Amino acid sequence: MGKQVVAFQATMQMMADQFPGAFAGYSLEVEESHQRSKVDTSGTAKAIVGSFRQLGIDFSDDKIRKVRDPMAQIDHMHVPENALQGHAFHTYSLRSPDGTVAFQFQHNVCGREIYAEGSVDAVLFLHSQIQQQSQQRLFSMIDVLRAGSMR
């Protein structure tokens, strides 16, 4: 529930919805680093890759490079040693077919505070919905972001 990460995901989805195929022909490399205990591929990386697919890039989730080795995390991904037990570093690198244009998107999180803050904001948002007697019963983190009442 990292609100800024969710906002980035939503922004990428909006770009994909507004400009489908804008990066057709580009190549994509995705690297994500999380603490060694995380075995699965990052859901955030998969969501961002989904947006890139809509933007015209041929890329499957199994091409996402998971970095779990602490030395590679420090040396290659530049994860601070004190964050090895709790971090989320993601890099999305795009290159044009002729190699003359490159884009890179990156989001790096050290620790877990960002997720706790987002969870608290979600609880406060849900409380406000109950107080307002909202008829809606299912909300997403995007609803929390749109409400703009984050602390």
Catalytic residues: 34, 38
DSSP letter (8 states) at residue 9: H
Q: Would you say 4 and 121 are in contact if contact means Cβ atoms under 8 Å apart?
A: no
CA distance readout (Å), 66 to 22, 60, 62, 148: 26, 14, 10, 33
DSSP letter (8 states) at residue 98: T
Question: Torsion over CA of 149, 151, 15 and 88, rounded to 10 degrees?
Answer: -150
CA 23 to chain centre: 19
